[in-house]
């Protein structure tokens, strides 16, 4: 009301002493209309902001309505309102979101939790700077002070800016975490165990670099700064953005195994899923499910947060979503214990620590590929006809489907004809000689006890060695491209051993080493014609 009265008074004065008063009056926009225009920009801005933020000037925790109220009492808001209500000739509509964005920009903290971190109820309604400076409160005060001195009005800390006891808010916050870090004006990394005056390499040894949640916290932000134990800049690097420091990014690259360009320009999504899983494979979290939840943002997905479901189920739901959305089967490339969620998935993310098996397999050069294709063409026309037929079959295969813990996996299958345990194996790990139609004989090492059988002593259960189908192996249809596919299929590959269950479904038999299989004769195309989509539990 005070604003409206002031504007009315100004217009009345203009009308008495200016010949253009009527024109100004026609240009007049009511304060409520102007407020509505500004509010739209505020809503757009806050849509990607955290639900609560600390006001670094007052030291108070503010929800979104409190943030908006603070803005409406600011000089910035009144200047916008005045300019809009008088149709100031210098006001540009794009100026509104610029002012709003500058006012509501915020700083995020990335840190390792200590023993006594302040929660929301510890600081709600209190001035942070007036609390006893001990433990997590001291860290909170220093962070807010650093942000305030850098002229940032708002700051966010996970421990106290989320209501940890509100399940709905917690779920929304954890699913939004990556977006919040991405849209932050700056992310401050506090290395509590890196002493002052540390040399290069100290950050890589910090406990911060072992935690699961810190992966999205350093990948998402566009600007980041590292601070030491005493809140001085790491390596005394005063750059406003340490992602522009070659020295610091090189150290982080070595420490994380993530190349510097990705550290600087990371974009979330399903691309290179296996590599992203490897990044997190050696990290730890306080709550077991968080090792999966912390990766949701990296893959650009949102799933229910269900603490108490156990880490196998949490990781299983994440991997199921990756395969279902992308059709990427590299997430199935692992060695270790199978998950109770699905036997084609690992029980622990540590199974991804070993590089994918394809990195160790030989790759044909273009000359070698062309030589092999020419050899096939010269042998007989039957091989060429079968190659075209196989190419068509595989090209029409659907992508892997994963739902309700069941995997429908398109693959080339080879029926196992013999499994025999080798002598001298230990009681905890068994080595088996395996034979399959169309494949060279191979050895499999597993902790599971397998049914032994042969052609002369068969079993009623079906065992398959399968090659999951990868669409990247197929080219467009032509005689030459079909033969190129056959040559590629003749190369060594990573196989799965599947055992049929009572209901006709299959389970993957986990092995202690990658199962490397190879067809006996690449010219015997008929041995690769058993194309199926088994349902794997």
Round to whole Å and give the CA distance between 384 and 271.
34
Q: What is the mean pLDDT of the chain?
A: 88
Residues in contact with 191: Cβ distance below 8 Å, sequence separation at least 6, in sequence order: 202, 203, 206, 208, 226, 227, 228, 229, 234
CB-based burial of residue 235 (10 Å sphere; 0-12 exposed, 13-18 middle, 19+ buried)? Answer: buried
408-438 residue pLDDT tens: 999 999 999 999 998 766 667 889 999 999 9
The four Cα atoms 216, 219, 224, 228 give a dihedral, to 10 degrees, of 60
Round to whole Å and give the CA distance between 97 and 41.
5
Q: What's the mean pLDDT in 493-501?
A: 93
pLDDT exceeds 70 at position 300: yes
Q: Where are the domains of the chain?
A: 2-190, 273-359, 361-536
Round to whole Å and give the CA distance between 33 and 326.
46
Round to whole Å and give the CA distance between 82 and 359.
64
Distance set, CA 534 to CA 45, 248, 345, 349, 465 (Å): 48, 48, 15, 25, 12
Considering only 220-234, 286-300, 383-397, which range has the smallest mean pLDDT? 383-397
**Of the ranges 9-18, 60-69, 454-463, which is most confident?**
60-69
Round to whole Å and give the CA distance between 134 and 116.
9
pLDDT exceeds 90 at position 505: yes
pTM of the model: 0.88
The four Cα atoms 268, 272, 273, 274 give a dihedral, to 10 degrees, of -150
Q: What is the DSSP string of 434-445?
A: EEETTB--EEEE
Round to whole Å and give the CA distance between 149 and 134.
21
Query: What pLDDT sits at residue 379?
Result: 66
55-99 residue pLDDT tens: 999 999 999 999 999 999 999 999 998 888 876 656 667 789 999
Q: What is the DSSP string of 105-134?
A: -EEEEEE---SS---HHHHTTS-GGGS---
Query: What pLDDT sits at residue 475?
Result: 60
Hey, what are 442's tokens? 């191979």
CA 228 to chain centre: 27
Q: What is the DSSP string of 278-336?
A: HHHTT-B-SSTTHHHHTTTTTTT------TTS-HHHHHHHHHHHHHHHH---GGG---S
Instruction: Check: CB of residue 338 under 8 Å from CB of residue 347.
Output: yes
pLDDT exceeds 50 at position 13: no
Round to whole Å and give the CA distance between 53 and 120.
11
Round to whole Å and give the CA distance between 201 and 197.
12
Query: What pLDDT sits at residue 4?
Result: 47
Query: What pLDDT sits at residue 171?
Result: 95
Round to whole Å and give the CA distance between 397 and 529.
13
Closest by Cα among 114, 136, 112, 278 to 206: 112
Q: Tokens 């214990």 identify what position?
A: 337
Instruction: Check: CB of residue 306 under 8 Å from CB of residue 289.
Output: yes
Query: What pLDDT sits at residue 31?
Result: 84
Query: What pLDDT sits at residue 528?
Result: 74
Q: What's the mean pLDDT in 139-145?
A: 97
Considering only 8-12, 322-326, 378-382, which range has the smallest mean pLDDT? 8-12
Pure H helices in 362-437: 366-379, 381-395
349-406 residue pLDDT tens: 999 998 877 666 777 777 777 777 777 777 665 567 777 888 888 888 888 999 899 9
């Amino acid at each position: 009301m005070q604003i409206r009265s002031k504007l009315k008074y100004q217009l009345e004065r203009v009308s008495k002493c200016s010949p253009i008063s009527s024109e100004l009056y026609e240009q007049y926009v009511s304060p409520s209309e102007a407020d509505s225009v500004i509010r739209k920009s505020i809503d757009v801005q806050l849509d990607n902001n955290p639900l609560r933020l600390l006001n670094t000037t007052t030291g108070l925790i503010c929800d979104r309505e409190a943030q908006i109220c603070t803005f409406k009492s600011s000089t910035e808001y009144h200047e916008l309102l005045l300019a809009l209500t008088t149709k100031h000739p210098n006001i540009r509509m794009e100026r509104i979101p610029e002012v709003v964005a500058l006012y509501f920009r915020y700083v995020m903290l990335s840190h390792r939790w200590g023993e006594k971190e302040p929660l929301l109820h510890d600081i709600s309604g209190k001035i942070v700077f007036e609390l006893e400076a001990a433990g997590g409160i001291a860290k909170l005060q220093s962070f807010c002070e650093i942000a305030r001195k850098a002229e940032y009005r708002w700051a966010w800390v996970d421990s106290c800016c989320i209501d940890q006891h509100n399940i709905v808010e917690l779920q929304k916050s954890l699913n939004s975490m990556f977006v919040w870090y991405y849209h932050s004006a700056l992310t401050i990394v506090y290395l509590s165990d890196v002493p002052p005056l540390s040399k290069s390499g100290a950050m890589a040894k910090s406990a911060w670099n072992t935690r699961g949640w810190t992966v999205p916290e350093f990948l998402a932000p566009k600007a980041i700064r590292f601070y030491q134990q005493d809140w001085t800049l790491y390596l005394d690097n005063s750059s406003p953005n340490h992602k522009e420091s070659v020295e610091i990014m090189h150290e982080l690259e070595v420490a994380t195994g993530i190349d510097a360009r990705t550290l600087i320009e990371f974009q979330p999504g399903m691309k290179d899923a296996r590599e992203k899983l490897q990044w997190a494979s050696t990290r730890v979290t306080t709550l077991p499910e968080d090792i999966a939840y912390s990766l949701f943002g990296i893959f650009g997905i949102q799933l229910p947060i269900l603490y108490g479901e156990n880490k196998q189920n949490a990781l299983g739901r994440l991997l199921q979503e990756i395969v279902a959305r992308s059709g990427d089967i590299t997430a199935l490339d692992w060695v270790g214990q199978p998950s109770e969620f699905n036997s084609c998935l690992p029980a622990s993310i540590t199974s991804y620590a070993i590089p994918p098996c394809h990195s160790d397999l030989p790759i044909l050069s273009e000359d070698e590929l062309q030589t092999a294709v020419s050899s096939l063409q010269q042998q007989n026309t039957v091989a060429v006809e079968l190659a075209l037929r196989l190419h068509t079959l595989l090209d029409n295969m659907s992508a892997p489907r994963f739902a309700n813990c069941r995997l429908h996996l398109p693959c080339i299958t080879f029926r196992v004809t013999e499994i025999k345990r080798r002598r001298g194996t230990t009681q905890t790990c068994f080595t088996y000689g395996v034979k399959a139609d169309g494949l060279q004989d191979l050895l499999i090492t597993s902790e599971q006890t397998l049914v032994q059988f042969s052609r002369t002593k068969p079993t009623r259960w079906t065992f398959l060695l399968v090659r999951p189908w990868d669409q990247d192996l197929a080219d467009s249809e032509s005689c030459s491209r079909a033969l190129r596919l056959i040559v590629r299929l003749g190369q060594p590959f990573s196989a799965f051993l599947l055992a049929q269950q009572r209901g006709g479904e299959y389970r993957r038999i986990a092995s202690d080493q990658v199962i490397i299989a190879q067809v006996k004769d690449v010219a015997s195309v008929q041995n690769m014609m058993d194309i199926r989509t088994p349902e794997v539990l």
